[in-house]
Amino acid sequence: MQFKQIEGGVCAPKGFTANGVHCGIRKNKIKKDLAMIVSEQRAATACVYTTNLVKGAPILVTKENVADGYAQAVIVNSGNANTCNANGVEIARQMCSLVEAHTGIAQTDVVVASTGVIGQPLSIEPIAGSMEELVKGLGNCSHSAAEAIMTTDTVPKEISYAFTLGGKEVKIGAICKGVGMICPNMATMLMFVCTDASISPSMLQKMLSAEVKESLNMVSVDRDTSTNDTMCVMANGLAGNETIDKVNADYKKLAKALHVVCVDLCRKIAKDGEGATKLLTCEVVGAKSHKIAKVVAKSVINSPLVKAAMFGSDANWGRVLCAIGYAGVPVDVAKVEVSFLSKEGKVLVCKDGAGVPFSEEEATKVLKQDEVVIAVNLHDGAHKATAWGCDLTYEYVKINGDYRT
């Protein structure tokens, strides 16, 4: 097995510790709201951020801090996005200063992030008051950190794998959050990846920038792009492999490992979408170009009518064709084939752009499962793409109808 799934999350790779605590940003004292990840030594660091013109202040500070391609710690709060605040940048810098004061890590080597309600003042006091507890508890606590970055997520999201590079065992682990305001064009929500692989900052950034186009950019819960989306990858080199400084076999293997991690978390994000009852996967094949395949897959996943039909287990394939038709890329609709799949089987519902006879009873059985694949064959080429999303439910409206209050 090329990649073996292991325990540990972001703490699986050598030299990384983490923790999460409740500091008081959230009124609910049961929920953790402050997380930290620390590397034993400075690590090559690459980031991608939201494309929204409205950006959280932590993004501006993080960009400054990782401009040299290195970082050593991550600090994240949940419950307050630190966005559209007059003193937001000052607060974000103070969070970095607190890391330096309590760990000795330079404040300029800190990635800072926030998630939660937009436009609410954020006080530094609860964060400062909990730093001693947060740092004292640093250890093999990836799960606590994953809990502390959650907002409306219902489950923590983490993953880790082991593999070999140049005869050395290498590990990669990640945590993420995000189940609403998810339709990025860069990365997605908050995701932090740690690896003990040795790679140059420029190669790591190249790898990350390429990867997000194939996985994280293909996730959508609700077509809204968050103001705080940040993805960060830290590689501290403690595995001892020969440093990757060019595109070679080791580069490609590490890139594959990163892809495996990202796809796993993309599926977790989509399945835990706000109010969701189903993970939807749109697999497009037979496209004339990779771009066409990606655009079509994302268009289907983004369609509110498709999402609502999937919630109701209604095999309304016309909505799928509709989403393909307005995707804005050249498709010969007369060639399109659509099927619905799940662990209950497969139902062909459309061939050559027209409906075919199928059992509504069988289709309903297929669509009632918690993971459903919408399979689209454009019969126009050899390219393919996959996008992930979820159904649109009454609960989504309820969650977002009173999210702030």
The CATH number of residue 249's host domain is 3.60.70.12
**Hey, is 175 helix, strand or coil?**
strand
User: Is residue 186's pLDDT more than 60?
Assistant: no
Which residue in the list 17, 50, 103, 188 is annotated as catalytic?
A: 188
303 and 265 in a common domain: no
My answer on whether 67 and 160 are in the same domain is yes
Give mean pLDDT, residues 43-71.
90
Residue predicted with more confidence, 369 or 86: 369
Dmax over CA atoms of the chain, in Å, equals 69
Residue 227 has pLDDT above 70, yes or no: no
Residue 405 clears pLDDT 80, i.e. is over it: no
pLDDT (0 to 100) of residue 182: 53
What is the number of other CB atoms lying within 10 angstroms of the CB of residue 381?
14
Residue of higher predicted confidence among 81 and 396: 81
Above 50 in pLDDT, residue 110?
A: yes
188 is catalytic: yes
Same domain for 283 and 225, yes or no, is: no
Domain that holds residue 78: 4-271
Strand partners of residue 390: 279
Residues 245 and 359 in one domain: no
Range in 5-14, 147-156, 266-275 the model is least confident about: 266-275
CA distance 255 to 192: 16
Q: Are residues 293 and 254 in the same domain?
A: no
pLDDT at residue 121 in the model: 86
Residues 300, 306 contacting (CB under 8 angstroms): yes
